[in-house]
Amino acid sequence: MTIVDIHKAETQLETLINRMLAGEAIVIAKSGQPVAHLMPIEAPQPRTPGIAKGRITNAFFEPLPEDELQAWEA
């Protein structure tokens, strides 16, 4: 793990990002105290159109029972 002062992180952000993407753990510190951990975000899973096709029946469109409606209104 590499600890980098916040000033160095500001001036060398692109370099630090490239190191992080290569697998290095980067921690940003302010006055010697760790304040942030640089890490990649996970790419969202692509949506699949029609995933529920054939699984929704007409019952889905029926009104909810009264006790269920009451629970939602509480």
Domains of the chain in sequence order:
2-38 (3.40.1620.10)
3-state class (DSSP) for residue 26: strand
**pLDDT value, residue 29:** 97
**pLDDT value, residue 35:** 97
**pLDDT value, residue 13:** 96
**pLDDT value, residue 28:** 97
The Cα–Cα gap between 60 and 74 comes to 22
Q: Which residues of the chain have pLDDT under 50?
A: none
**pLDDT value, residue 42:** 86
- Whole-model pTM above 0.85? no
**pLDDT value, residue 5:** 96
